[in-house]
Structure 1
Amino acid sequence: MKPFTLSILLAGFLLTGAVHAGASDHVHASHAWIRVLPGGLPAGAYVTLRNDGDQAVSLSGARSTVYADAMLHRSSTAGGVSRMTMVDALNIPAHGEARLAPAGYHLMLMQANAPVKPGDTVRLTLDFTDGSTLATDFIARPANAMDAGDDHAGH
């Protein structure tokens, strides 16, 4: 293979990788909120994710400069016993949506580096298994909140 052809081929591979590692252009977030608990207790983050792409994608985690760690969990109840299980990913079907909501999938936010109060905005970067990311602003809500506090939280 000629060096020029190899260079063009290599550049194409690098550009393809850059597209996948960048911001998500097919997943959109709405109704993003955090339930703030008192003291140093972990917070729960909830959001509706809409995938307008032709391929399914999976949320694999999140990160933030405000929290030391963010883990994807699923809450469930069986036989009267509530459980919380860490999960590796949450599938978002092509042209479909997935909801992170109380008593279901959520992001567990651990060790805030400063107090987060209701009304604060916290930016989380959502990570997807295809290498894309989505920076999303989450509104902090009080411990007794059950939704994002907007008119469309249940939609």
Structure 2
Amino acid sequence: MKRIALLLVGLLGAGLVHADTTRISASHAWIRVLPGALPAGAYVVLRNDGDKPVALTGASTPDYGMAMLHRSTQSGGSSRMAMVDALPIPAHGTQALAPGGYHLMLMDARHPVQPGDTVRITLKFDNGVTLPVDFIARPAGALGDQG
């Protein structure tokens, strides 16, 4: 019996040594609401205070039928947008989803979303962590989270 107890203590101790030290936070979360049934763009600054890099791999919200990670780029005077599978966030670093770059594309609003509304989006990361974040809806002409 004593051996089993020691074995369990050893296994628990080993688990603590190798515990996931990922700490992800979000700030400046906002959505640009476009008129009619057009998709909305969601933007946020993600901070990884953990010891290992992580990647944003997806998102979901009850307010929209679909949330996809996209990246906008400019080349030769034209703008392109492409879906991406993951957005890396370095250990002890930040990554911004911002107009003209990485963003979440929110499709098929389940109800009208108006400027001033709060939309909860759950961000999903490659290490299994999920992070619910409240995004403030801003009007179509907004350039940032302050209006």
Q: TM-score by structure 2 length?
A: 0.86
Q: Distance in 2 between matches of 1:92 and 1:72?
A: 14
Supply the AA of the counterpart residue of 2:91.
A
Q: Distance in 1 between matches of 2:82 and 2:108?
A: 19
1:58 maps to 55
1:71 aligns with 2:68: yes
Supply the AA of the counterpart residue of 1:45.
A
Compute the RMSD of aligned alpha carbons: 2.3
Q: Distance in 1 between matches of 2:141 and 2:101?
A: 16
Q: Deviations over 1:118-148 (max 9, x none)?
A: 0000000000000100000000000000000
Unaligned 5+ segments in structure 2 are none
Identity %: 61
Q: Distance in 2 between matches of 1:80 and 1:130?
A: 38
Q: Distance in 2 between matches of 1:34 and 1:63?
A: 14
Q: Distance in 2 between matches of 1:130 and 1:147?
A: 29
1:153 maps to none
Unaligned 5+ segments in structure 1 are 151-155
Q: Distance in 2 between matches of 1:138 and 1:73?
A: 17
2:108 maps to 111
Supply the AA of the counterpart residue of 1:87.
V
Q: Distance in 1 between matches of 2:119 and 2:102?
A: 19
Aligned-partner SS, 2:128: coil
1:142 maps to 139
1:80 aligns with 2:80: no
- 8 Å Cα contact 2:22/2:52 also seen in 1: no
Q: Distance in 2 between matches of 1:126 and 1:59?
A: 7
Number of equivalenced pairs:
138
Aligned-partner SS, 1:38: coil
Correspondence list, 1:6-155, <5 A? 26-149=23-146
Aligned-partner SS, 1:37: coil
Aligned-partner SS, 1:117: coil
Aligned-partner SS, 2:59: strand
User: Which contiguous aligned blocks of 4+ residues in structure 1 show a shift greater than 2 angstroms?
Assistant: none
Supply the AA of the counterpart residue of 1:119.
G
- Per the TM alignment, residue 81 of structure 1 is displaced from its structure 2 partner at its CA by 1.3
